[in-house]
Amino acid sequence: MKYNFDEIIDRQNTNAMSLGGYRNYLFGGSDAFDSDYAEADLIPMWIADMEFASPPAVIRAVKERADHGVFGYSQIFDPSYKEAFLNWSKHYYDWKFNPDHLVTSQGVIPALFSLVKYICAFDEKVLIMTPSYAFFKLATEGSGRELITSDLVYTDGDYTIDFEDFQRKAEDEKVTLTIFCNPHNPTGRIWKEDELRRFGEICLENNVMIISDEIHCDLLRTENTFTPLSRLFPLSDKIITCMAPSKTFNMAGFMIANIIIPNRELLALWQRTEVPIVNPLSIVAAQAAYSHGHDWLEQLRKYLDGNFEFLRCYLAEHLPNAIFKTPEATYLAWVNLGAYLPEEEDLTLFFANKAGVLLEGDTMFVANGAGHIRLNLACPRARLEQGLGRMVKAIQALKS
């Protein structure tokens, strides 16, 4: 390996959300968090960022831009940024979009909050699939729109879309938007082409606009490939695609995401309303990642494959009744520990208090997640082993 993903990088005193933001995000500031472990010993496996350094090309580009010394208002004018991302899309997803439809945002989350307001009138509804990334709910309800959910179906190790249920809900004429996640957080599914076609057709036939959140689309197990929903519906202007370098290259703090809006009116509304300023360091960082990040990403994917295999073997040996299948994508493991922990147990709190492991339990994923935890595996293997060891011990102590 050219890059050392085993290196443990100390993130103390860097204002990292993973170390400083958990009390608020995981426990809402409640007193129930009272860990047996000292604060410095907590192992963060919750928020979806990585414990790895970004690719050297990104670090170099930021240093060079920093050396320039002038950091005035910036916006993306130079076509080379769009070219770099277009080349990336062509290379990895065989997808070519119109560069005029590409805008940037400070993140997919801010884009979701804006788009829900732009697309849905006050009395209209947003349809999502559950379990779900919590911000789909927050962006909807935070904007005063009603949320409708359709549970994914779990059979034989795989989650699938309940198309009958989804269609019935999409037929409600007040449902005008769906926020779709592909690859899916938290289950890790990459939706197949026939699933994407059927889903897209239901939405388009029922005038439901789609935000396709594809932020995890580069983080695939090494044998997999990814199909952007929009590639299958090239003539439709009803699909907004959200992608970003943030997950792929561990640069979420740069706050830059790519939003592709083919609908003319919506694009014009976005351009009239959103602040177009982009952090100058973020522009060069993202461009360097898309231009020079290929071999780093290939190696990262191999390392993550190894972490998932490690988890699979560890669970088989120590918690054989855990239900887990290596996800097709993302660095997030979705594990059903219902066989070991009573239903009423708050899983986030249990593992934080008893194992000193910060992870996200079922209640953080809107609905349809009972008994599950989501564990972030984008960390050095030694850290993963330590976290799993503590979790197993905590479960064993509970049993005895």
Ligand X SMILES: Cc1ncc(COP(=O)(O)O)c(C=O)c1O
Closer to ligand X by CB, 125 or 374: give it: 374
Q: Which of 46, 133, 59 is nearest to 378 (CA)?
A: 46
φ, ψ at 215 (rounded to 5°) = -60, -25
Q: Is 181 in the site for ligand X (CB under 6 A)?
A: yes
**How far apart are alpha carbons 222 and 201 in whole angstroms?**
29
- Determine which residue in the list 44, 107, 369, 387 makes contact with ligand X, applying CB under 6 A: 107
Closer to ligand X by CB, 196 or 252: give it: 252
Residues touching ligand X, count (CB under 6 A): 13
Q: Do residues 229 and 180 touch, judged by C-beta distance below 8 A? A: yes
Q: Cβ 398 to ligand X, closest distance in Å?
A: 29
- Determine which residue in the list 108, 177, 278, 329 makes contact with ligand X, applying CB under 6 A: 108
| Contact stretch for ligand X (CB under 6 A) within 37-45, 82-90, 107-115, 141-149 | 107-115
Q: Cβ 1 to ligand X, closest distance in Å?
A: 26
Closer to ligand X by CB, 117 or 318: give it: 117
Q: Cβ 61 to ligand X, closest distance in Å?
A: 19
Closer to ligand X by CB, 95 or 136: give it: 136
Beta partners for residue 323, in sequence order: 336
- For ligand X, the binding residues in 111-140 under the rule CB under 6 A are 133
Tokens of 301: 């994917």
- For ligand X, the binding residues in 357-376 under the rule CB under 6 A are none
Closer to ligand X by CB, 167 or 368: give it: 368
- For ligand X, the binding residues in 34-63 under the rule CB under 6 A are 48
Q: Is 109 in the site for ligand X (CB under 6 A)?
A: yes
Q: Is 211 in the site for ligand X (CB under 6 A)?
A: no
| Contact stretch for ligand X (CB under 6 A) within 102-110, 166-174, 195-203, 373-381 | 102-110
For ligand X, the nearest residue by Cβ is: 107
Residues 6+ apart with CB under 8 A from 179: 112, 116, 126, 128, 136, 139, 140, 211, 213
Residues 6+ apart with CB under 8 A from 395: 319, 337, 340, 341
Site string for ligand X, 246-285 (x = CB under 6 A): x-----x----x----------------------------
Query: Which residue type does 171 have?
Result: E
> b/e for 101-110, b at 16 or more Cβ within 10 A?
bbbbbbbbbe
The SS3 call for residue 223 is coil
Tokens of 30: 């409640």
SS3 for 347-400, per residue? HHHHHHHHHCEECEEHHHHCCCCCCEEEEECCCCHHHHHHHHHHHHHHHHHHHC
The SS3 call for residue 37 is coil
Q: Do residues 378 and 251 touch, judged by C-beta distance below 8 A? A: no
Q: Cβ 394 to ligand X, closest distance in Å?
A: 25
| Contact stretch for ligand X (CB under 6 A) within 8-16, 160-168, 221-229, 244-252 | 244-252
Contact residues for ligand X (CB under 6 A)?
Answer: 48, 107-109, 133, 181, 185, 213, 215, 244, 246, 252, 257
